[in-house]
């Protein structure tokens, strides 16, 4: 089922791959090019969605297995990379997608909530990177992709949404900004080793299953404010296959940088490019 470029012989771990969202879409796209996938979720409550992700990949002809670990718990995640390696071999593609937010304004968010956000959004990715690096160094090849957020930037005025929602993204954005800075620093450290480190993010509202109603509302006013998961999956694939490092760019910027077409999650059907806008009639829809 592989298509060019081939990722046969490579093993990818994608965290937070249990929902109809970014993690699942990236996993499906990597699998479409031959990678073996280890799909992560936080625990039993996410098991049904995780198994759905595995089923979709297996139905397409690729190999996939599931793994659970609470990324908020340092001990629970301490051996996650080693556990993932038991399925297909050492992980050489790491996609840190799992994230957490607590919807409270900056003046009221308490210490436990602050700890939880930074633990999952920053500390856990750093731990997984450090666990994965020895095998990547031994192979002389590795790909690290951190999924970040446009919330690292202060919101534009006037707010495009309820102020209480914008304010609630403050600490989430701060945690993702820390991850951006770490991404660039690690990329500089590993430059020339064969291991690349990049970050990408939605440029707009990601059209996930959970955000379907919001996305349709946004389409009615400004289609440029909606992004489908194919864009993020394409950007992630480009970061794996093109060898660039130290990038912290949104999905459209990555496609534009590489002058790349936009494919469906099957990796073969061309459905657009970096300039494509989304409409209700567009083939760019939330994947099942």
38: closest CA among 5, 63, 61, 55? Answer: 63
Residue 159 annotated in active site: no
Q: Give the Cβ contact number of residue 244 at 10 Å.
A: 15
Q: What does the alpha-carbon distance between residue 19 and residue 22 come to, in Å, rounded to a whole number?
A: 8
User: ∠ at Cα 157 (152, 161), nearest 5°?
Assistant: 80
Q: Which residues pair with 231 in a beta bridge?
A: none
Residues 6+ apart with CB under 8 A from 13: 38, 40, 67, 80, 81, 84, 91, 93, 94, 95, 128, 132
Residues 6+ apart with CB under 8 A from 239: 143, 145, 196, 198, 200, 247, 254
Contact (Cβ atoms closer than 8 angstroms) between residue 225 and residue 204:
yes
Q: How far is CA 242 from CA 139, 205, 285, in A?
A: 18, 26, 26
**What region, left, alpha or beta, does residue 82 occupy, with left being phi > 0 and alpha being psi -120 to 50 degrees?**
alpha
Exactly one of 159, 172, 182, 203 is catalytic; which is it?
A: 172
Q: Would you please indicate which residues are annotated as catalytic (active-site) residues?
A: 172
């Amino acid at each position: 089922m592989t298509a060019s470029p081939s990722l046969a012989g490579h093993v990818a771990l994608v965290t937070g791959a249990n929902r109809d969202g970014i993690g699942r879409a990236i996993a499906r796209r990597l699998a479409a090019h031959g990678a073996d996938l280890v799909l992560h979720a936080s625990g039993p409550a996410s098991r049904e969605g995780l198994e759905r992700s595995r089923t979709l990949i297996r139905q397409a002809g690729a190999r996939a297995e599931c793994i659970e670990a609470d990324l908020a718990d340092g001990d629970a995640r301490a051996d996650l990379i080693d556990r993932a390696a038991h399925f297909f071999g050492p992980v050489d593609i790491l996609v840190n997608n799992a994230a957490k937010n607590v919807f409270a304004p900056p003046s009221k968010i308490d210490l436990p909530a602050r700890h939880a956000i930074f633990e999952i959004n920053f500390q856990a990715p750093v731990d997984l990177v450090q666990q994965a690096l020895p095998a990547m160094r031994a192979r002389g090849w590795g790909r690290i992709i951190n999924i970040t957020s446009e919330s690292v930037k202060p919101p534009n005025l006037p707010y495009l949404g309820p102020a209480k929602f914008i304010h609630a993204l403050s600490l989430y954005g701060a945690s993702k900004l820390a991850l951006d800075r770490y991404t660039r620093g690690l990329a500089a450290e590993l430059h020339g080793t064969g291991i690349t480190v990049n970050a990408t993010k939605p440029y707009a509202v990601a059209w996930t299953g959970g955000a379907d109603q919001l996305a349709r509302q946004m389409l009615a006013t400004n289609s440029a404010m909606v992004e489908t998961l194919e864009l993020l999956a394409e950007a992630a694939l480009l970061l794996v296959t093109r060898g660039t490092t130290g990038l912290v760019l949104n999905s459209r910027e990555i496609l534009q940088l590489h002058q790349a077409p936009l494919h469906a999650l099957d990796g073969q059907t061309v459905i657009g490019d970096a300039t494509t806008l989304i409409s209700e009639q567009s083939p760019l829809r939330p994947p099942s």
